[in-house]
Chains A and B, each alone.
Chain A
Amino acid sequence: MATQNSRSAARLMMAPAVILLLGWMLVPLTMTLWFSFRKYLPLRGGDQGWVGFDNYVRFVSSSSFWPSVQTTLIIVGGVLIITVVFGILLALLLDQPMWGQGVVRILVIAPFFVMPTVSALVWKNIFMDPVNGLFAHLWKFFGATPVEWLSQASVQSIIMIVSWQWLPFATLILLTAVQSLDGERLEASEMDGANPLQRFGYIVLPHLARAITIVVLIQTIFLLSIFAEIFVTTGGAFGTKTLSYLIFQRVLESQNIGLGSAGGIYAVILANIVAIFLMRIVGKNLDA
């Protein structure tokens, strides 16, 4: 009886938070769905009634749709590979006992606290500027022609900027996983004749599998919606238009809310497919 009572009391007390969160999520989602089926051009006649799946068809058949999906995947995939690989290496490095370990760890985490807009501006103006950027000076020092990063290697530049932001996150999660590895297990494998590379492959990497899937899952969800980095650096030019940036352009630059909303629904579906896919991997890993 007591449990029954406390359970309903708990439900009652959680209700405001749940309702608030639900409303926060459902209202915009419903409105997006609503607008996605309507022809709504704020500066050219306003809401002009139902159009069925017209917006969905137009969004997909637009010439910028598939390139934007491709760009999104390249950026997300690139950032994931860079952050996971370097995250593992950095985590292993930071796990070594060294002088000033605490300070070094805080410094490594630092980029995560820089706002995306700020970090993109810093990279754009201080590092990648073809005239005054540090990279330009470095190239000139060696007698090479400075690279115009954001126009010549635009996607790579954005991957670099975003990776720099997310590497600390990956490192942090992977470092805690590395630290939880039982030292005796490594010693046992050493006695069993495994060289350092084999120890990494057979013992450390399987131990990190779960942490890696968590990093991939969380980062994917956030990386699918990166916006500020693109807005500040290339403004969507030079093949850096991702799906979320395309939606932004449809709504604000073309002033077509219906079309943008349809794109938004596609993005929601895409994110959910990725999420389900990754949840299953994580679930499988949690069983082991």
Chain B
Amino acid sequence: MGRITLKEVTKSFGTVEVIKPINLEIEDGEFVVFVGPSGCGKSTLLRLIAGLEDVTSGHIEINGTDATAIPPAKRGLAMVFQSYALYPHMSVRKNIAFPLKMAGVDKTEINRKVDEAARVLNLSDYIDRRPGQLSGGQRQRVAIGRAIVREPDAFLFDEPLSNLDAALRGNMRLEISELHQTLATTMIYVTHDQVEAMTMANKIVVLRDGIIEQVGAPIDLYKNPRNLFVAEFIGSPKMNIIKGDAATELGAPTVGIRPEHLEVSKTKGKWKGTVGVSEHLGSDTFLHIEAEGIGTVNVRADGEIDLHHGDVAWLTPQVDKLHRFDATGLAI
């Protein structure tokens, strides 16, 4: 069981209110991702749930009981830190065994659980090494192993992949998703990377300045962003935001168009523009087009398109896929 409920939770450091009253339901077995730009309070929110910070007001309920005053170790949550926070003077085995040792589990049981965790995480070959002798990905797995053996109600991940290189990050993303499928335990995951959020989450929580901007399934957020901030934050490359006369013509003060919803042609279209940088990725081509009266627009075209720097291109938006926003930035 790992149902977590936040009720009117706030957090202030001195006079700075980092988390404004937040209400959130996390269901058992969900993979929830807190995403937002740096300084939005996502890590603080995770630490509040973990109990490493005390809430200023409000309540945190875990499995229906008020856990606001319960110390971190007793909340039944396990956390994986950004720096891994491994104990450098202990072997991998001792690192993973540490929480069990603290809980007073007997030796044979500890060994059985540690071996099992090491097997699941492919760490059996390194079990007697020290963290200093491991690569980044291996250390990450040890940190996850230390969390798994406790059999917690929920896992908390604080930007666990940000210290890894791009290729390894892709692999670990899959491994964590796979782990979630296997264990079916609630996971709360903090990241500033919207790709991680989109690919891993059942539910994304977009935060800005200590406020939840939107909660929903990844594809929901992508298709129906509630406001301009979410629209711009979710999706890569970023959504194009059009203002002024061109927007008014399309029926709103501000209009958003995703790069894949613009048709590009060499001969005809609605807006005329000049091709700037074009990024050929093979499967896709990302074009940066300087459109007249609109500004720079990102376009996702297919991989074989024959447009280069300086060429003239015509753009046509798919009218049914437009996102319209009012003057305050809320979706219409």
Partners in one complex: yes
Q: Name the CB-closest residue of B to A205.
A: B89
Question: Does B102 contact A192, Cβ atoms closer than 8 Å?
Answer: yes
Of B50, B77, B85, B102, the residue contacting A182 (CB under 8 A) is: B85
CA distance A37 to B112 in the complex (A): 68
With a CB–CB cut-off of 8 A, which chain A residues contact B83?
182, 184-185
Q: Which of B83-114 contact A (CB under 8 A)?
A: 83, 85-89, 98-99, 102-103
A191 touches which one: B73, B82, B87, B89 (CB < 8 A)? B73
* Interface presence of A288 (CB below 8 A): yes
Determine whether the beta carbon of B79 is less than 8 Å from that of A188. Answer: yes
Return the chain B residue nearest A194 by Cβ: B102
Which residues of chain B (124-167) have a CB below 8 Å from chain A?
A: 130, 146, 150
- A182-B83, A184-B85, A185-B85 in contact; A191/B98 too (CB < 8 A)? no
B78 CB–A CB distance under 8 Å: yes
> Pick the contact of A184 from B72, B81, B98 — CB < 8 Å?
B81
Does A160 sit within 8 A of B, measured CB to CB?
no
B98 touches A202 (CB 8 A): yes
A224 adjacent to chain B (CB < 8 Å): no
Is the CB of A47 closer than 8 A to any CB of chain B? no
For the complex, what is the distance from the CA of A162 to the CA of B86, rounded to whole Å?
39
A189: CB under 8 A from chain B?
Answer: yes
Closest chain B residue to A206 by CB distance? B89
B interface footprint on A17-39 (CB within 8 Å = 1, 0 otherwise): 00000000000000000000000
Q: Count chain B CB atoms within 10 A of each CB in A187, A189, A198 and give the residue with the most.
A: A187
Residues of B within 8 A of A189 (CB): 87, 98, 102
Contact with B along A201-214 (1 / 0, CB 8 A): 01100110100000
The answer to whether A190 has its CB under 8 Å from any CB of chain B is yes
Q: Is A102 an interface residue (CB 8 A)?
A: no
A100 surroundings in chain B (CB, below 8 A): none
**A-side contacts of B77, CB under 8 Å:** 191
In the bound complex, what is the Cα–Cα distance between A276 and B88 (angstroms)? Answer: 27
Q: What is the size category of the interface that chain A forms with chain B?
A: 10 to 19
Number of interface residues of B (CB under 8 A): 22
Cβ contact within 8 Å between B130 and A288:
yes
Q: Report how far A180 CA is from B86 CA in the complex, Å.
A: 15
Q: Which of A188, A193, A203, A288 lies in contact with B81, CB distance below 8 A?
A: A188
> Which B residues are in CB contact (< 8 Å) with A288?
88-89, 130
Known A-B contacts A184-B81, A192-B73, A193-B73; the reply to A198 vs B89 at CB < 8 A is no
B102 adjacent to A184 (CB under 8 Å): no
A209 to B88, CA, bound (A): 12
B305 within 8 A of A: no
Q: Are A192 and B81 in contact (CB under 8 A)?
A: no
Q: Give A140 Cβ to nearest chain B Cβ, in Å.
A: 49
Contact A203 B87 (CB under 8 A): yes
Q: B70 at interface (Cβ–Cβ under 8 A)?
A: no
A240-288 interface with B by 8 A CB criterion: 288
B52 with A193: CB separation less than 8 A: no
Is the beta-carbon distance between A188 and B85 smaller than 8 angstroms?
Answer: yes
Which residue of the partner chain, among B87, B103, B150, contacts A202 with CB atoms under 8 Å?
Answer: B87
In the assembled complex, the CB of A246 is this many whole angstroms from the nearest CB of chain B, namely: 42
Q: What string of 1s and 0s marks CB contacts (under 8 Å) between A141-160 and chain B?
A: 00000000000000000000
CB distance from B261 to the nearest CB of A (A): 42
Closest CB of chain B to A189's CB: distance in Å?
A: 7
Q: Which residues of chain B are within 8 angstroms of A185 by Cβ–Cβ distance?
A: 83, 85-87
Hey, which chain A residues are within 8 Å of B86, CB to CB? 185, 188
B85 touches A190 (CB 8 A): no
How far apart sit A190 and B53, CA to CA, in the bound complex (Å)?
12
Knowing A192-B98, A202-B87, the reply to whether A187 touches B73 (Cβ < 8 A) is no
Among B77, B85, B99, B150, the most chain A Cβ lie within 10 Å of the Cβ of B85
With most chain A CB atoms within 10 A of its CB, the pick from B81, B86, B103 is: B81
A190: chain B residues at CB < 8 Å are 52, 72-73
In the complex with contacts A182-B83, A182-B85, A203-B87, A192-B52 CB distance below 8 A: no
Q: B78 and A191: CB pair below 8 A?
A: yes
Instruction: Give CA–CA (A188, B86) in the complex, Å.
Output: 8
The one of A187, A198, A206, A207 that contacts B102, using a Cβ cutoff of 8 Å? A198
A165 to B99, CA, bound (A): 41
Q: B46-90: which residues lie under 8 A (CB-CB) from chain A?
A: 50, 52, 72-73, 77-79, 81-83, 85-89
For B103, list chain A residues within 8 Å (CB).
193
CB distance from B109 to the nearest CB of A (A): 15
Instruction: Determine how close the nearest CB of chain B comes to the CB of A204; give it in whole angstroms.
Output: 11
The residue of chain A having its C-beta at the shortest distance from the C-beta of B94 within the complex is: A202
- Chain A residues near B72: list those with CB within 8 A: 187, 190-191
Q: How far apart sit A198 and B101, CA to CA, in the bound complex (Å)?
A: 11
Shortest Cβ distance from B79 into A: residue = A191
Within the assembled complex, what's the spacing in Å between the Cα atoms of A194 and B146?
A: 14
A131 to B143, CA, bound (A): 63
Residues of B within 8 A of A191 (CB): 50, 52, 72-73, 77-79, 99
Q: Which residues of A contact B50 (CB under 8 A)?
A: 191
Q: For the complex, what is the distance from the CA of A198 to the CA of B87, rounded to whole Å?
A: 13
**Extra contacts besides A187-B79, A189-B98, A194-B102 (13): CB < 8 Å:** A184-B81, A184-B82, A184-B83, A184-B85, A185-B86, A187-B85, A190-B73, A191-B72, A191-B78, A193-B73, A193-B103, A194-B73, A206-B89
Q: List 13 A-B contacts (CB under 8 A).
A: A182-B83, A184-B82, A185-B85, A185-B87, A188-B146, A189-B102, A191-B72, A191-B73, A193-B102, A194-B98, A209-B89, A288-B89, A288-B130
